[in-house]
Amino acid sequence: MRKRNKFKHGMYMLIALAMLLYALPKLSFQEGPSWVLGFGVVWCIFAFLVIAAHLHFIIGVDEEKQKQLEAVRKHKLEQWQGKWNEESRVSQRL
């Protein structure tokens, strides 16, 4: 299932990149600032964000972050269990 997801995100990224490469040469900076140029620049920024989001998923940065968070949770649970065991030992002695 993961390979299919990565393939899907790869295709979407390539489509967004193709759209961006098609649109960039059409932007004209010679006429000066205008609404059309502003729209084109904003559209290109959104296209870059879409490409970056799909690339982020393909690289798997989320998986690495998820593993790190799981390790932190496990460590905190071990600390909590250790403290709880110590408190139960102390209360048993009294």
CB within 8 Å of 12: residues ≥ 6 apart: 50, 54
Which pTM does this prediction carry? Answer: 0.59
Please check whether residues 66 and 80 belong to one and the same domain. Answer: yes
Q: CB neighbours (10 Å) of residue 54? A: 21
Domain that holds residue 73: 61-94
Q: How far is Cα 83 from Cα 79, in angstroms, rounded to an integer?
A: 6
Nearest to 14 by CA among 50, 62, 59: 50
Give Cα 82 to chain centroid, integer Å.
35
Tokens 């990565």 appear where?
6
What does each of the 94 residues of the chain score in pLDDT, given as a tens digit?
567 778 898 999 999 999 999 988 888 777 778 888 888 889 999 999 999 999 988 887 767 777 888 889 999 988 888 888 777 777 776 6
Please check whether residues 3 and 36 belong to one and the same domain. Answer: yes
Tally of structural domains, the chain: 2
